[in-house]
Amino acid sequence: MEKRDYLSGPAILPKPIEAGVGAADLVDHAYLAYNGGRLREACELLVRKMLDANATVGLSLTGALTPAGLGMTCLIPLVEAGFVDWIVTTGANLYHDAHFGIGLDMHRGRPHLDDTELREAGVVRIYDILFDYDVLLETDAFFRRIMAGDEFQRTMGTAEFHWLAGKYVDEREKALGREGTSLLAAAFRAGVPVFTSSPGDSSIGMNVAEMELRGYSLRINPNRDVNETAAIVLDAKRNGRSGEGDGGTSGMLILGGGSPKNFLLQTEPQIQEVLGLEEEGHDHFLQITDARPDTGGLSGATPGEAVSWGKVDPAKLPDAVVCYCDTTIALPLLTAYALDRREPRPLARLYDRLEELYGRLRGAFEEKLGGRGPEDVVPIE
């Protein structure tokens, strides 16, 4: 590169911020450098490429986002606009999300309270969010009531479990006049499959375990989740977002990190490394994180590192953005930008086609095996 190539970017000569400026214009004209610049790049990547008509968007959620109201302010609008096609999240986000849909409240508070006094008063704290301990007990009771139904008495993946649960939260929302408060209910209405990478690691999973002790037959099969998520990605790349085209792209919108981030990204190694199917990796990588890469944790792992695992297509690495910022700051701006700069897309309703996508993955794998069965597997010496 020559000097003029290095200096080809726009000159930094922004206009002063004026009263009444919109969020999208603020991002475009005031977020010019450092992590503000990365947030602007993230917004541009989402709007210009990840939300193309034939692009499928997977979203991962970590951190207590729904208790802070971000389900209502950001995640539900993104789902309803067709900007999120499938989700991987912690069970805790879905458990606390359900509080709102079934008529329970959480309150703004302060972070520097005496937790011993809060315990004695029957108040639970998530940093500066406060709520009645009975909220937990009533939510537990709600999940146990619905899980006692006949439709839950079998083995299923977490997408099916959350679709069934979302149906009941949706009914409760409507009965209480609280539509639009629960992400679970919104995902049910929009046909967006919702997966949990660690089904036992939340109060929902704890109640599933309690129901087993009572003699109920609900079992969560994580193998189904691994294959269903891989099926979504493989079909998105081969047949596009509608499932009827000549190929499309797969974009990853990662809020935080942790297990949901890996579960979202491991779909490509599952396709390539484990199933032996030809693929190149996800096309777009957009992460909001406060984790450093040098500690070796997955939450801070860069898209470049993901390339080495086959998770991200190396040819698409320029379409990867990491913004080091608190999700509660970045997500509202990202949401406002996307809704302002992009028209809603038709819903992909991937949950409605999940069985079909699973069948396509199985067919591709069986074709790869060429008739070989378990008896043909060479044991490890």
Distance (Å, whole) CA 97 – CA 196: 14
Please say if 311 is a catalytic residue.
Answer: yes
Retrieve residue 192's tokens: 């967006």
Q: d(Cα 372, Cα 310) in Å, to the nearest integer?
A: 26
Q: What does the alpha-carbon distance between residue 143 and residue 208 come to, in Å, rounded to a whole number?
A: 9
Residue by residue, what is the 3-state secondary structure of 243-262?
CCCCCCEEEEEEECCHHHHH
Asked if residue 192 lies in contact with residue 85, where contact means CB atoms within 8 angstroms, the answer is yes
Contact between 267 and 229 under an 8 Å Cβ cutoff? The reply is: yes
Q: Distance (Å, rounded) from C-alpha 25 to C-alpha 16?
A: 12
Number of residues that make up the chain: 381
Return the closest-CA partner of residue 40 out of 343, 325, 345. Answer: 325
CA 258 from chain center: how many Å?
A: 12
Which residue out of 49, 311, 316, 368 is catalytically annotated? 311
Bridge partners, residue 288, by sequence: 255, 323
91 contacts 193 by C-beta, under 8 angstroms = no
Active-site residues, by number, are 311
